[in-house]
Amino acid sequence: MRLSTLILSATLATTPFLRAAPLADQTTEEVQDAITSELKGLDPNIPIKSIEKSGWGGVFRVTLEGGSVIYSNETGKLLLRGDMLEINNGQIVNLTEELRNKAVADQLKSLKKEDQIVFSPKEEVKGVVYAFTDADCGYCRKLHQEVPGLNNMGIEVRYLAFPRGGKQSPAYAKMVDAWCSPERMQALSELKNGKEITHKASKEDKEQTRCEVLVEEQFEQGLKLGVSGTPALFLESGKAIPGYRPAAELARIMGITPPPAPETAPDTKADSAPKS
């Protein structure tokens, strides 16, 4: 198993905290070179983004593309995979999680909204959920049933393609058809309901819209973020929410209060007494 894969496997199972940690000072070139050399020796393709002082004497923070973090000594021969915690004003702060969330948030923010299939509220947008989805995923279909409820609470859902079986899977072809369709929202909803897509694009339209490339790019983006199953949800903050969640639970996680249930008029009709 590649080192980068080993690291990514742990990125979605951590607990978030609230305070933003200050950026650490850059470390010396000599230490950067030593750590890089050791890591590249294990995995030539490991995507190192930065190497910085961690704030813990002799320990350096290595951030990978996608937001994953490991820690190393100055020689790169001792590695630690896990979260660095800080006690601040009597509370535990997860410094690693904050950095990871920021890196994920920056990557999600860089994605073009027009390349996603977006279900927006009719009224004010109070929050956004990014959802990596697969056309043949049962829990993805279950999540899609929650979209009207999410929209009613002001939550926008932005779908990103993640055919779990890759380019050779049946789901890949279906998702290309959805992203290529002139009616993307309808096409995706039809797939989620187990139906054929009504409005499919021609071969020429597919080439013009680059939709096949979009599906591949979004799949690769999901892999970089550590996505391995669907649905995989992310908030604008970069916080990861693996798996299906009901609309009310998602709203609670996002700090959005669901609208009150409509009042029902009391039933004034009495049951008729049985005839003797």
Closest by CA to 20, choosing from 91, 128, 102, 122, is 102
- Predicted pLDDT at 68: 87
Predicted local confidence at residue 266, as pLDDT: 53
How far, in Å, CA of 75 to CA of 38, rounded? 8
pLDDT (0 to 100) of residue 17: 28
- The whole-model pTM stands at 0.77
Higher pLDDT, 203 or 17: 203
Tell me: the pLDDT tens digits for 196-217? 998 887 777 766 678 889 999 9
Cis peptide before 231 (omega within 30 of 0): yes
- CATH fold match for the domains 3-106 and 111-254: no
Q: 3-106, superfamily in CATH?
A: Disulphide bond isomerase, DsbC/G, N-terminal (3.10.450.70)
Q: What is the 3-state secondary structure (H, E, C) of the chain?
A: CCHHHHHHCCCCCCCCCCCCCCCCCECCHHHHHHHHHHHHHHCCCCCEEEEEECCCCCCEEEEECCCCEEEECCCCCCEECCCCEEEECCEEEEHHHHHHHHHHHHHHHHCCHHHCEEECCCCCCCEEEEEEECCCCHHHHHHHCCHHHHHHCCEEEEEEECCCCCCCCHHHHHHHHHHHCCCHHHHHHHHHCCCCCCCCCCHHHHHHHCHHHHHHHHHHHHHHCCCCCCCEEEECCCCEEECCCCHHHHHHHHCCCCCCCCCCCCCCCCCCCCCC
- At 276 the pLDDT is 44
- pLDDT at position 12, please? 37
Interval 26-76: pLDDT, tens: 458 899 999 999 999 999 999 999 999 998 889 999 999 888 899 999 999
111-254 has CATH 3.10.20.30 classification: no
Please report the pLDDT score of residue 200 as a whole number.
82
Look at residue 253 and tell me whether its pLDDT is greater than 80: yes
Catalytic residue numbers read 134, 137, 140, 164
pLDDT one-digit tens code per residue, 90-145: 999 999 999 999 999 999 999 999 999 999 999 999 999 999 999 999 999 999 99
Instruction: Between 70 and 22, name the one with better pLDDT.
Output: 70
Tell me the per-residue pLDDT of 232-251, one tens digit each, with 9 for 90 and over: 999 999 999 989 999 999 99
Domain ranges of the chain: 3-106, 111-254
Residue 11 has pLDDT above 90, yes or no: no
Position 265 scores a pLDDT of 53
Tally the residues of the chain. Answer: 276
